[in-house]
Amino acid sequence: MKRQPNVFFSRKRSAQAGMTLLETMIALAMLLVVAAGVMGIADLADSTTETQGHLAARTAEYAQDKMEQLLALKFCDGDTNGKSGTDTTVFPAVVGAGTGLAGCSDMTLGTAQSGGGLSTTAPTTGYVDYLDGSGNLVASSGNWEYIRVWQITAQGTSMKQVSVKAQARHAVGSNGRLPAATIMALKTFPF
């Protein structure tokens, strides 16, 4: 009698034989393609986080710092020409050499005057300052990383709206939007 090979065991052995080198290489190539796609998304996430997280948070902080400095001034700081108020574009601020809060036309009634602007491309003289990457004031021709502009708007005779905009000079990545923050507050006469 002739012995028959055990078909059951031979099938089981071939199923457990493992992967060939070619199959392993193909699987690794597919994994590499998927990983390369994910890395592109990771780069985009990193630049977005840096721009909208870190730089935008700094612009908000720098705008708030300027707002606090301006709100500490008296309501009628400055005159109708805007030149005898406190100069807040330097540190420490110099009394009598700047625009202050744009002044008042009638100091006893607190009739508010307006001044400044929120354009970072064409800032109003006396209502702009520049900061380095650490938040320190620098000259306008210096190597600045952040710009702050502010505007004083008369709201009736005894109220002013103080608006401050801070913007970063550069963004990270290619979305083209510069991080910026704008804050506003109201100041009333005689404070």
Mean pLDDT of 87-115: 85
Q: Are 63 and 103 in contact (CB under 8 A)?
A: no
User: Of 146, 41, 137, whose CA–CA distance to 92 is shortest?
Assistant: 137
Whether the pLDDT of residue 191 is over 70: the answer is yes
168 close to 144: Cβ distance less than 8 angstroms: no
Mean pLDDT across 124-136: 92
**Quick check: helix, strand or coil at residue 114?**
coil
Burial of residue 71 (number of CB atoms within 10 Å: 0-12, 13-18, 19+): middle
> Residue 16: pLDDT above 90?
no
- Take residue 180 and report the two structure tokens written for it: 């910026």
Q: Where are the domains of the chain?
A: 43-188
Dihedral sign for Cα atoms in the order 95, 98, 101, 104: positive
- Average pLDDT on 46-61 reads 81
Q: What's the mean pLDDT when you consider all of the chain?
A: 84
180-188 and 146-154: which strand pairing? unpaired
Q: Is the pLDDT of residue 12 over 80?
A: no
Q: Residue 93 corresponds to which tokens in the numbers above? A: 């601020």
State pTM to two decimals. Answer: 0.74
